Amino acid sequence: MHISLSEIQKQLYNNKLSVEDIVNSYLKRINKNKHLNAFVEVFENEAIEQAKIIDVKIKQNNAGKLAGLVIGIKDNICYKGHKATAGSKILKKFVSTYSSTAVKRLINEDAIIIGRLNCDEFAMGSSNETSIYGSVLNPFDETKVSGGSSGGSAAAVAADLCLAALGSDTGGSVRQPASFCGVVGFKPAYGRISRYGLIAYASSFDQIGIIAKNINDTAIILETIAGNDDLDSTASDKPVPKYSKLLQFNKNLKIAFFKNHLKNKNLDIEIKNKTLNVFDYLRTTGHTVKGINFKLADLLIPAYYVLTTAEASSNLSRYDGVRFGYRDENSNDLNSLYTNTRTKGFGKEVKRRIMTGTFVLSKGFYDEYYTKAQKVRRLIQNETNNIFNDFDVIITPTTPTTAFKLGTKIQNPVEMYLEDVFTVHANLTGIPAISIPLGKHSNGLPFGIQILSKKFDEELLLAFADFLMRNNQKLF
């Protein structure tokens, strides 16, 4: 199967392959792997039509720089004229009237959007089990979860159903499934990629992320979709470096790890030991690696779940059966229309979040929960900034465990929320973070390692991640 965009493009430009061939081979594989439940819709005919057009452009030498890239998009990213349902009944029939900025920029460079990928409902979850379309199976072991919420995106890339995928990451939803499925999962700094056309979960945390097989593809996609956007006032106007040209890495870094993260009682011992092996390797190659205590580590999950549920309860108030989406047809007054639509349209986990969020924002509890969590978020940001005064990057495991068995955590929300213990930090602080595959556990499942850098220092993050991936075989 295809390994990288550069390898694909070499063949395309040597006439050894056509974009149509590539699309057809992915379509075949998607068909064969339907049972993984990664795609919720495949844009089959359209993809073939576009491939033909791009093949002509290649012959005329005027194809975009992503010609040959076949990419899937998470079902919460809007693409004009196509459904975007965020894995929810409440949006099951919703067809987007506009494209997200990320999708527009991909298409402008001749990427082909092959279909919509399964995800947890409104991106709330860590196992892809809250989707209205059902769970995604892990391609390495079909009795295990794919991770979530971008489970379809990670499973599709891992199973070679597309070369790359867009996901969204509010607390780890790109990095955690990438870790579970043995692929690269990258969340840039908050504001690096426009959120225009991304269905909102928690707006001050949400970021579109990239799932790919290698850093070069990640970098090319990032430099294409990142940057200022008049349609999203939170999109940064910082210049976007040509990341893919800046992957040469020959610096000695100061690297921090969190001793208390490694003492986390849920952390699998093999994941811990292999992470420690990486530190040893890095020391032998001239880097400085130092363990420090992240004082606020225990507050990461509580602050995250207070603030994201608050933002979700506000964002999801728009789904009322009046303007768009599912409407309960048996209600005969406005209040029962709202109540019945929302009762029937949302799943259990989404309701739990809306209720929690409404509670923490309610008069009488607002200061005790919401204001307090905002203060904690600020303290976490300050402590993180201080760390980056002394260090270039932070390394942590991506997830405490490898992919768990389907059905085992879905009944216990707290256990599920603890899956995000290492990933929410980047979203609380807005810094970029990446999970790269580290290896295989003795149970046969892949797992990743997470690297975090200063806000907007994706350049260093990607170059360092590339260095680590290229040297991965030396790590064990």
**How many CB atoms sit inside 10 A of residue 42's CB?**
19
Distance between CA atoms of 373 and 365, rounded to whole angstroms? Answer: 12
Binding residue for ligand GLN, selected from 170, 214, 315, 402, defined by CB under 6 A:
170
Of 100, 127, 173, 179, catalytic? 173
Min CB(420)–ligand GLN separation in Å? 5
Q: How many amino acids of this chain bind ligand GLN (CB under 6 A)?
A: 14
List C-alpha distances in Å: 197 to 200, 236, 284: 9, 16, 45
Min CB(132)–ligand GLN separation in Å? 16
Nearer to ligand GLN, 169 or 392 (CB): 169
* One character per residue 403-442, x = contact with ligand GLN (rule: CB under 6 A): -----------------x----------------------
Of 88, 126, 127, 149, catalytic? 149
395: left (phi over 0), alpha (psi -120 to 50) or beta: beta
**How many CB atoms sit inside 10 A of residue 27's CB?**
19
Are 451 and 461 within 8 A, CB to CB?
Answer: yes
Are 78 and 168 within 8 A, CB to CB?
Answer: no
Are 370 and 351 within 8 A, CB to CB?
Answer: no
Distance between CA atoms of 95 and 269, rounded to whole angstroms? Answer: 46
Q: Is 242 a catalytic residue?
A: no
Using CB under 6 A as the binding rule, whether residue 208 contacts ligand GLN is answered as no
Q: Is 74 a catalytic residue?
A: yes
Using CB under 6 A as the binding rule, whether residue 129 contacts ligand GLN is answered as no
Phi, psi at 42, each rounded to 5°: -115, 130
Tell me the three state secondary structure of residue 266. coil
Q: Which 148-167 residues touch ligand GLN, going by CB under 6 A? A: 149
The window from 16-24, 122-130, 314-322, 376-384 that contacts ligand GLN (CB under 6 A) reads: 122-130
Using CB under 6 A as the binding rule, whether residue 171 contacts ligand GLN is answered as yes
Distance between CA atoms of 401 and 255, rounded to whole angstroms? Answer: 23
Using CB under 6 A as the binding rule, whether residue 172 contacts ligand GLN is answered as yes
Binding residue for ligand GLN, selected from 72, 87, 115, 125, defined by CB under 6 A:
125
Using CB under 6 A as the binding rule, whether residue 123 contacts ligand GLN is answered as yes
Min CB(1)–ligand GLN separation in Å? 28
* Cα–Cα nearest to 157, from 74, 216, 71, 90: 71
Using CB under 6 A as the binding rule, whether residue 191 contacts ligand GLN is answered as no
Give the angle 270-276-281 at the CA atoms, nearest 5°.
125
Q: Which 59-78 residues touch ligand GLN, going by CB under 6 A? A: none
Phi, psi at 312, each rounded to 5°: -65, -40
Q: Is 173 a catalytic residue?
A: yes
Using CB under 6 A as the binding rule, whether residue 315 contacts ligand GLN is answered as no
Residues at the contact surface with ligand GLN, assessed by CB under 6 A: 123-126, 149, 168-173, 201, 308, 420
Residues with catalytic roles = 74, 149, 173
